[in-house]
Amino acid sequence: MTARTATATRTTRRGARLLALVAAGTLTLGAAAEVGAQDAGSQDTGRAAAAPGDVSPFTGNAASPGQVLAVKFDNARGARPHHNLNKADIVYVEKVEGGMSRLMGVYASRKPDSVGPVRSARESDVELLRQFGRPALAYSGVRSSLTKYLNNSPIYVRPHGKVPGAYYRNENRQAPHNLFVKPGPLLKSAPKASLAADIGFRFGAAPQGGVKTSSRTVRYASASHTFRWSSSQQRWRVSFDGEAAMQTNGRQMAPRTVVIQHVAMPPSKYRDVNGAVTPYIKTVGQGKATVLRDGKAYATRWSRPNAQSGTTFTLANGQRMPFATGQVWVVYADK
């Protein structure tokens, strides 16, 4: 076989693999053209070169299969701006005690040198994370009554103080908003953490329909989360409590896809140090969800039969709702 023939053969195989992904509905031709594009304000730090045809099931972009690391982020005013949250594949917004909010960043495609600030985990995080298999979870600690529950879970729990060299304090911030974690050292302590796999997301061109939407806000008792469409950026600019959600790189968080998922959040059996009851976010079941993409809002239904299964989002016609490629935000709202 000549060098020219070998090159042509490899090119044909690569094209066939991409077309197979298109046919499977996991990647559209538009997404294929965008493979390798990065989120606004992000860098390539920690991203391994993807083999031709490797696509992240979390973002729809080119990415080698990576171990899944979930990090609990502080979202109090004193914790902002966040560091390297923009490099997460998925960002979850969760209600906690007192009507405040916390964030969870799920990393697989990229592993930045450090992320934070890090705060404590909650009981319902285990249910949420089971759809990722056995991921690693980084957090700052929990009440003693919850420690046994987390340690007995099928998650690789890696709290502050248990993984030497993984956590550090940023002297330029005030406690308790100054704890950061290094994904590399933390994942070395969990070498069997699951690789990224299908959790129900689908990516592709925007479907017909949808309602033109300029902004949408999800409110808890003591926190608000607003997503405003930017036609120039083709993204949803994020604000917390009426202020732009900034990163340490000086740029505002701005995903292409935001999912507002309505769930039941009854009181759990756990309380915080002040005695406030922690809500339990029930991510198994079914209900309504609104998907924001391309300046429109799409009414969908979400379904997750059990903790081990992924979460699907379906349009009224029964078809799966495709997301825009890139980072996905999932905001839990009251049912």
Positions of the chain with pLDDT lower than 50, given as ranges: 1-47
pLDDT at 94: 98
In this structure, CATH architecture of domain 211-334:
3-Layer(bba) Sandwich (3.50)
Q: Rounded distance, CA 127 to CA 11, Å?
A: 43
Q: Rounded distance, CA 174 to CA 172, Å?
A: 7
What are phi and psi for residue 201, nearest 5 degrees?
-70, 145
What are phi and psi for residue 267, nearest 5 degrees?
-65, 140
- The 3-class secondary structure across 190-258, one letter per residue, is CCCCCECCCCCCCECCCCCCCEECCEEEEEECCEEEEEEEECCCCEEEEEECCEECEECCCCECCCCEE
Pairing of strands 69-73, 136-139: parallel
- Per-residue pLDDT reduced to its tens digit, 195-242: 999 999 999 999 999 999 999 999 999 999 999 999 999 999 999 999
Question: Taking the model in full, what pTM does it have?
Answer: 0.86
Q: What number of other Cβ atoms are within 10 A of residue 251's Cβ?
A: 15
pLDDT at 145: 80
- The 3-class secondary structure across the chain, one letter per residue, is CCHHHHHHHHHHHHHHHHHHHHHHCCCCHHHHHHCCCCCCCCCCCCECCCCCCCECCCCCCECCCCECEEEEECCCHHHCCEECHHHCCEEEEEECHHHCEEEEEEECCECCCCEECECCCCCHHHHHHHHHCCCEEEECCCCHHHHHHHHCCCCEEEECCCCCCCEEECCCCCCCCCEEECHHHHHHCCCCCCECCCCCCCECCCCCCCEECCEEEEEECCEEEEEEEECCCCEEEEEECCEECEECCCCECCCCEEEEEEECCCEEEEECCCCCEEECCCCCEEEEEEEEECCEEEEEEEEECCCCCCCEEECCCCCECCECCCCEEEEEEEC
Task: With CA atoms as reference, report the closest residue to 286 among 259, 267, 265, 313.
Answer: 313
Domain boundary assignment for the chain? 211-334
CA atoms within 13 A on the CB side of 99: 9
Specify whether the CB–CB gap between 151 and 90 falls below 8 A: no
**Within the chain, what is the greatest distance between any pair of CA atoms?**
74
